[in-house]
Structure 1
Amino acid sequence: MNQELKRRISILERSNDEYKRLIRKREKEHEQIKNEYENN
């Protein structure tokens, strides 16, 4: 596999991980808001 392709793949994988982390963070925030709303 050539270097350029490897480089692009690793960049994609990193951004994918970043995206998943963001989604988890949003889900946690959403869960928190939902809980606060239900407790009021």
Structure 2
Amino acid sequence: MQLSFDLDHWAASNPAEQPIMAEPDFTLDVEWRKASHEEDGAAA
């Protein structure tokens, strides 16, 4: 979510610049989190 906000902010603050493009695919991050077996919910 924060990445989307940051990209939108960049585009709004720098209208003359090329927008930053990012593929928000967090599949690997989700798999790492699921495999960590942490119970406190803190990110690794």
TM-score, normalised on structure 1?
0.36
Q: Which structure has the higher relative contact order (CA within 8 Å, separation 6+)?
A: 2
Greater Rg over alpha carbons, structure: 1
Structure with higher helix content: 1
